[in-house]
Chains A and B, each alone.
Chain A
Amino acid sequence: MEPLTTDATPPNHAGPPPLERLVSIDVSVATVRALNNELHHPSAAAYEVLQPQGAHAIAAGIDQALTVDIRGHAGYYCAGMNDGGQIVVHGNVGTGVAENMMSGSVRIRGDASQSAGATGHGGLLVIEGSASMRCGISMKGIDIVVGGDIGPMSAFMAQAGRLVVCGDAGDDLGDSVYEARIYVRGKVGALGADCIEKPMRDEHLAELAALLTAARLDHDPRAFRRYGSGRTLYHFAAHNSAAY
């Protein structure tokens, strides 16, 4: 796996950062479509979004190193597909925050609904509160750090990346997990199929410490336990051939 990067990935195809000014967009006045159009063709490097009121797809599809502060609660797919943006939601978010993130960072000051960080390839998602079910489902390289608890069925088929949970994890954690690494400080309800507890070696303590530092969460890495794939589902088992 790639080593941890705590800094934002530089913009991948944009020119120099635009003007150094803060642009405020009130979503109760402008549409989300207008907001996202501005963020896709930015005239500034820093934005704040006012009155999000739970609207969907706020700040989705950013592909440059913008900073965006969303002041309030956001709806579904907030910061989806983020590629380089530094996005902070000063509130809660709905389903699928930072889904398919490529790079950059997304920080949620409150709680997140289902499927946070789903299918993410890279970047850092921090949820300071708790995340609901299916957190990190099918994650493919994203790092997710949750300050509170995560719901059932989290990290289902998680392929790569790290999921850090400072609270408890719900049932069926890591069902059919591939090579993502899962660290949980509190209780785990039940492990999913082929998810097992693994020893914490020095390199794991080191990468966990770096993730907690990046997330600005102050916990002792030694208080966490590590979970990952038992690798029994990787290959077709010859003794199952009789089933066909």
Chain B
Amino acid sequence: MCGIVGLHLRDPALYPRLGGLLETMLCQVVERGPDSAGVAVYGDQRRCPEGYAAVSLLGAPLGLPEALRKLLAGQPDVMSTEAGDTTVLAAPVSVDELVAAVRVAAPAALVVGSGTDLTVYKGIGHPRALAKTYDLAHAQGWQGLAHTRMATESAVTPQGCHPFSVGPDQCLVHNGSFANHATIRRELIADGASFDSENDSEVGARFVASRLAQGDDLDEALRLLCERFDGFYTLLVTSKDGFAVVRDAIACKPAVIAETDAWVAMASEFRALADLPGIDHARIYEPEPEKVYAWNR
């Protein structure tokens, strides 16, 4: 199964409510994947202020903020937020500088998200409890997504938890399973990619990141993914520019999209959308097989 929810806000008046709305959506798809849950939030100034870069980490060692401060040019203060297995670090430097410093100071830790606008949280356990751990209710921002996982292709670990964020300000969540992920993984490794997990969905994320790095937009990258990947998938992919949804040719993994002037939302099931403001007047539809739906800011 697995449950996906995503919300792309058009009306800035809703930005302070992003986390609360996402938490409500997430809690409606708990039964679809009760073993773990991950969340991505774009534009949460509490955790990544304007002019900062943020890195989300699993397995951060004690004293990491101080170690990073010493490594970074100008020795800025490093913000650190612990949220269960995840630690979010932010500093007024570039993303590349912060990621490089994290890899030096904490070589055993796993970077699960990085960017100037993105914070990612992963953990195992009941999604409702994890939402509290991440303090999702108070998150603010312009876009977010969440995933509840029912693991099939790899173990129940924080590392196997979605979203997969393998490029700056990019995220991918997946309901389904890829059949030819091992083949594409080998091809991406031959092209220089390295992987953090055995998860099939990570292969999808690395594939999209590689296409975006080569200049494709989300629409082009996902069209090519449909050509190359076999298996079942409903994917929600986000970037600093927007939000895209695609399903495989058979489209047996569910997806519902709703749109109003104030927001675009996507979820595995309608019930996750039922409490959104203005849902009674939303345009509600199901994405068609192998058609890419994309929205930009």
Contact = CB atoms under 8 A, between A and B. Distances in A.
Interface of A: 53-56, 73, 75-76, 92, 94-95, 111, 113-114, 132-133, 151-153, 170
B286 interface: yes
A162 B273 CA distance: 33
Contacts of B288: 151-152, 170
Interface in B251-265: 251-252, 254, 256
Contacts of A113: 254, 256, 286
Contacts of B272: 54
Nearest to A93: B270
A94 B269 contact: yes
A133 B252 CA distance: 9
Contacts of B285: 111
Contact of B270 (A75, A132, A153): A75
A42 B103 CA distance: 65
Nearest to B284: A92
A151 B28 CA distance: 26
B284 A94 contact: no
Contacts of B289: 133, 152
Interface of B: 28, 250-252, 254, 256, 269-275, 284-286, 288-289
Contacts of A95: 254
Nearest to A151: B288
A56 B31 CA distance: 12
A54 B270 contact: yes
A153 B251 CA distance: 10
Nearest to B275: A53
B271 A132 contact: no
B274 A132 contact: no
B30 to A, nearest CB: 13
Contacts, number: 44
B284 A75 contact: no
A73 B254 contact: no
B296 to A, nearest CB: 26
16 contacts: A53-B274, A54-B271, A54-B272, A54-B273, A73-B274, A73-B284, A75-B269, A76-B269, A94-B254, A94-B269, A94-B270, A111-B284, A113-B256, A114-B251, A114-B252, A133-B289
A237 to B, nearest CB: 27
A54 B289 CA distance: 23
Pairs A-B, 9 closest by C-beta atoms: A54-B271, A54-B270, A53-B274, A132-B286, A54-B274, A73-B270, A75-B271, A53-B271, A94-B270
B269 A54 contact: yes
Given A54-B271, A54-B272, A113-B256, 11 more contacts: A53-B275, A55-B271, A73-B274, A73-B284, A76-B269, A111-B284, A111-B285, A114-B251, A133-B289, A151-B286, A152-B289
A171 to B, nearest CB: 9
Contacts of A75: 269-271
A75 B274 CA distance: 11
Contacts of A132: 286
A152 B249 CA distance: 10
A95 B271 CA distance: 12
A201 to B, nearest CB: 34
A86 to B, nearest CB: 23
A53 B274 CA distance: 5
A19 B184 CA distance: 64
A75 B284 CA distance: 14
Contacts of B284: 73, 92, 111
A114 B253 CA distance: 10
A114 B251 CA distance: 10
Contacts of A151: 286, 288
